[in-house]
Amino acid sequence: MFSDFALHERLLKAVAELKFVEPTPVQAAAIPLALEGRDLRVTAQTGSGKTAAFVLPILNRLIGPAKIRVSIKALILLPTRELAQQTLKEVERFSQFTFIKSGLITGGEDFKVQAAMLRKVPDILIGTPGRLLEQLNAGNLDLKEVEVLVLDEADRMLDMGFSEDVQRLVDECPNRQQTMLFSATTGGSGLREMIGKVLNNAEHLQLNQVSQLNATTRQQVITADHNQHKEQIVNWLLANETYQKAIIFTNTRAMADRIYGRLVAQDYKAFVLHGEKDQKDRQLAILLVFL
């Protein structure tokens, strides 16, 4: 029960309002340690409830009477704007009965509007590394008083090439008192190096094993001779496999557009999502896919 945690009554009220009753395994393992202020390294799959595992302890730390905010107290880093937006919603839901304010900094949004938000000094700042660094370099962002730093989906941030950006942002938080790193995998040498740099005597909570992740997943490797053959295989799989929805990953934007065009020509209801699409198109694609 969430009531078993040493959470402020306003947070428990929000939890009850959201009809959260039993914590997930990652929440049950991480929340008590996070409330103690421990550094954490948590390996847990997406969808395990890990967002609440760090959001609730952060809110519990910051909760108090209304007051003038003079510095950002918590920074949450994520690899994509969509994940950052989802996390902001979670923070707002859990903080609905508090005076804690949160802000979002990601690419694809108006830079000046974001700068104006930063001048109001949110208690919790959520963002992606690239745009946060842009605001930092422009002199709009001060992270020196950050007490809690969260690196969510840290393995994905490394996969996307954000290693140096993340380290720069970590270095901008010299007075942090707690750091929590979450990843879906145990990662490789890059993740181990980051863990060594940012965590201090951290507790490692491994909530999933590779075998658990793949228990309900059938994995298959199909070799192709060339791109045309690859597209033929994709067409065959879509025509013959049993599925409700499918996601096709490509290694280039051009290939994504090419496959998208071919699917639409074959009367598939398809959407394409990549970095050259503007924010509205990306949000629409995600919304329609997950309806």
Quick one: 131 and 247 in the same domain? no
Contact assessment for residue 154 and residue 183, using Cβ atoms and an 8 Å cutoff: yes
Domain boundary at 213, 240, 264, which?
Answer: 213
Quick one: 155 and 281 in the same domain? no
Domain boundary at 152, 178, 213, which?
Answer: 213
Contact assessment for residue 30 and residue 22, using Cβ atoms and an 8 Å cutoff: no
Structurally, how many domains does the chain consist of? 2
Q: Does any domain span residue 219?
A: no
Q: Does any domain span residue 149?
A: yes
DSSP 129-177: HHHHHHHHHTT----TT--EEEETTHHHHHHTT-HHHHHHHHHT-TT-S
Contact assessment for residue 198 and residue 170, using Cβ atoms and an 8 Å cutoff: yes
Place of tokens 């290939």: 255
Quick one: 81 and 129 in the same domain? yes
pLDDT in tens, 124-173: 999 999 999 999 999 999 999 999 999 999 999 998 889 999 999 999 99
Cα gap 114→105, rounded to integer Å? 7
pLDDT at residue 216 in the model: 62
Cα gap 30→152, rounded to integer Å? 14
Quick one: 60 and 202 in the same domain? yes
Average pLDDT of span 172-178:
97
Per-residue DSSP letter, 36: T
Quick one: 74 and 191 in the same domain? yes
Instruction: Give me the percent of the chain exceeding a pLDDT of 70.
Output: 93
Q: Which domain holds residue 46?
A: 2-213
Instruction: Give me the percent of the chain exceeding a pLDDT of 90.
Output: 58
Residue 272 has pLDDT above 50, yes or no: yes
Q: Does any domain span residue 222?
A: no
Quick one: 41 and 119 in the same domain? yes
pLDDT at residue 289 in the model: 62
Termini Cα distance of the chain? 31
Residues 6+ apart with CB under 8 A from 138: 111, 115
Quick one: 174 and 233 in the same domain? no
Residue 244 has pLDDT above 60, yes or no: yes
Quick one: 160 and 24 in the same domain? yes
User: Which one, of 148, 162, 220, lies nearest residue 191 by Cα?
Assistant: 162
pLDDT in tens, 206-235: 986 544 545 566 778 888 888 888 888 888
Quick one: 147 and 282 in the same domain? no
Quick one: 25 and 69 in the same domain? yes
pLDDT in tens, 26-49: 999 999 999 999 999 999 887 788
Quick one: 63 and 141 in the same domain? yes
Q: Does any domain span residue 175?
A: yes
pTM here? Answer: 0.77
Q: Does any domain span residue 221?
A: no
